[in-house]
């Protein structure tokens, strides 16, 4: 059997060692500035909430929406009926019939007078009087028809219309209720939705318009909302200049709130400053017997140094873990097994 030479054996042993050394590069620990985040609750608000009001007084005959209904601008959401309008309409119709009869008599009288004047039997003054009576009767019919149109318009205004597209928040009335003109029939959140934050007064100087916040998934617990690393981003669009009861208010715009409830709370992380940390890639940490170690390169060789780890950080630089104790700025770390 042919045995490999010593040179070949040395090359075979050196190859994986060289590959391991190349794969496990040293990492230099540096102090870096990371955002200081504070977890607060944000409430979902609608930018505009408009009331749908009754335009006439009367009895609420029907209500076609409930809380949570989606409506379009101009949709009929309720009907108010005033029984007196039907009686007024009947009286207007009767008045119009009476005046039209008078108008017809005035027209016949005017025609007869014109024929008599043409024959020279009647005077011009009688003709002028006939024309005046005809014009008066015509104007009376026109006025009566206008009055009837007003009654019809009031009857049509019994329909309560949605003032904007949106979702119905409350319907404080029931069919059969007596309402007056201007009474609120429903409240409609026409959006757009945003988050209202309430922060302690000590953070008033740290939050600014245009700042970035992190919004957790829907829910008010850490389990459902996730972590800042998995949160989506929003933008502070308004910071209110008045502090009330030790709280400063701010508004945050974020997409995807259309299916939330108004006044629903969700977990939000707000940047209130920056702090210096030491952070390393998690792959450089090894755990033995419940203790975390990192391998630090020193002039006398590599040493396994115990460390206490903090929160995990995720940003454009990738995923890292904060080191609370055990390392200093400038330390060089080797990967486990280097």
pLDDT at 79: 94
What average pLDDT does the chain have?
A: 84
Tell me the C-alpha distance between 156 and 175, whole Å: 18
**Alpha helices in the chain, H assignment, sequence order:** 6-23, 83-119, 124-156, 222-225
Contact call for residues 256 and 187 (beta carbons, < 8 A):
no
Angle at 19 between CA 17 and CA 23, to 5 degrees: 115
Q: Looking at the predicted structure, is the pLDDT value of residue 12 above 60?
A: no
pLDDT at 316: 65
For the record, the structure tokens of 191 come out as 């959006």
pLDDT at 225: 82
pLDDT at 14: 43
Contact call for residues 116 and 133 (beta carbons, < 8 A):
no
pLDDT at 21: 39
Nearest to 92 by CA among 138, 148, 149, 155: 148
Q: How confident is the model at residue 19 (pLDDT cuts 50, 70, 90)?
A: very low
pLDDT at 66: 92
Tell me the C-alpha distance between 304 and 322, whole Å: 18
Q: Looking at the predicted structure, is the pLDDT value of residue 20 above 60?
A: no
Which bin fits 145, alpha (ψ -120 to 50), beta or left (φ > 0)? alpha
Relative orientation angle of helices 83-119 and 124-156, to the nearest 10 degrees = 160
Contact call for residues 231 and 174 (beta carbons, < 8 A):
no
pLDDT at 60: 93
Q: How confident is the model at residue 9 (pLDDT cuts 50, 70, 90)?
A: very low
Angle at 155 between CA 154 and CA 157, to 5 degrees: 65
Write out the residue limits of the CATH 2.40.50.100 domain(s) in the chain.
49-80+160-189
Is the CATH number 2.40.50.100 carried by domain 49-80+160-189?
A: yes
Tell me the C-alpha distance between 81 and 201, whole Å: 53
Write out the residue limits of the CATH 2.40.30.170 domain(s) in the chain.
36-47+191-274
CATH of domain 83-156: 1.10.287
Q: Looking at the predicted structure, is the pLDDT value of residue 210 above 90?
A: no
Q: Which residue has the higher pLDDT, 102 or 316?
A: 102
pLDDT at 55: 92
Q: Give residue-wise pLDDT tens across range 158-201.
A: 999 999 999 999 999 999 999 999 999 999 998 789 999 988 88
Asked whether the whole model's pTM tops 0.75, one would answer no
Q: Give residue-wise pLDDT tens across range 100-140.
A: 999 999 899 888 888 888 888 878 888 888 899 989 999 99
Q: How confident is the model at residue 212 (pLDDT cuts 50, 70, 90)?
A: confident
Least confident of 16-20, 29-33, 226-230, 265-269: 16-20
Q: How confident is the model at residue 337 (pLDDT cuts 50, 70, 90)?
A: low
Tell me the C-alpha distance between 70 and 65, whole Å: 8
**Torsion on CA atoms 93, 95, 100, 103, rounded to nearest 10:** -160
Three-state secondary structure of 208-247: CCCCEEEECCCCCCHHHHCCHHHCEEEEEEEEEEEEECCE
Q: Tell the CATH topology of 36-47+191-274.
A: Elongation Factor Tu (Ef-tu); domain 3 (2.40.30)
Measured CA distances, 253 to 214, 243, 270 (Å) = 11, 21, 13
**Torsion on CA atoms 173, 175, 176, 177, rounded to nearest 10:** 10
Sign, CA torsion 283/286/292/297: negative
Q: Looking at the predicted structure, is the pLDDT value of residue 204 above 80?
A: yes
What number is the average pLDDT over the span 231-258? 89
């Amino acid at each position: 059997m042919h045995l490999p030479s010593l040179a070949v054996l040395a090359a075979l042993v050196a190859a994986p060692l060289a590959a391991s050394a190349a794969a496990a590069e040293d990492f230099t620990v540096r102090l870096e500035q990371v955002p200081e985040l504070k977890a607060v609750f944000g409430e979902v608000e609608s930018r505009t909430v408009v009331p749908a009001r009754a335009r006439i007084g009367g009895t609420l005959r029907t209500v076609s929406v409930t809380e949570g209904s989606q409506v379009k601008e101009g949709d009929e959401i309720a009907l108010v009926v005033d029984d007196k309008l039907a009686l007024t309409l009947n009286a207007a119709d009767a008045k119009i019939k009476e005046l039209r009869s008078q108008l017809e008599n005035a027209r016949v009288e005017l025609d007869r007078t014109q024929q008599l004047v043409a024959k020279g039997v009647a005077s011009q003054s009688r003709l002028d009087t006939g024309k005046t009576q005809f014009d008066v009767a015509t104007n009376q019919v026109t006025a009566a028809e206008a009055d009837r149109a007003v009654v019809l318009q009031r009857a049509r205004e019994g329909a309560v219309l949605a003032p904007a597209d949106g979702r119905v928040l409350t319907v404080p009335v029931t069919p059969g209720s007596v309402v007056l003109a201007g009474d609120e029939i429903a409240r409609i959140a026409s959006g757009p939705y945003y988050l209202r934050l309430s922060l302690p007064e000590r953070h008033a100087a740290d939050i600014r318009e245009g700042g970035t916040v992190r919004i957790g998934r829907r829910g008010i617990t850490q389990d459902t909302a996730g972590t800042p690393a998995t949160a989506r981003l929003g933008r502070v669009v308004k910071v209110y200049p008045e502090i009330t009861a030790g709280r400063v208010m701010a508004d945050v715009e974020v997409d995807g709130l259309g299916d939330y409830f108004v006044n629903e709370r969700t977990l939000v992380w707000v940047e209130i400053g920056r702090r210096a940390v030491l952070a390393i890639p998690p792959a450089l940490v090894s755990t033995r017997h419940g203790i975390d170690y990192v391998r630090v390169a020193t002039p006398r060789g590599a040493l396994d140094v115990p460390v206490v780890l903090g929160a995990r950080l995720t940003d454009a630089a990738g995923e890292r873990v904060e080191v609370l104790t055990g390392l200093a700025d400038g330390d060089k770390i080797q990967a486990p097994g280097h």
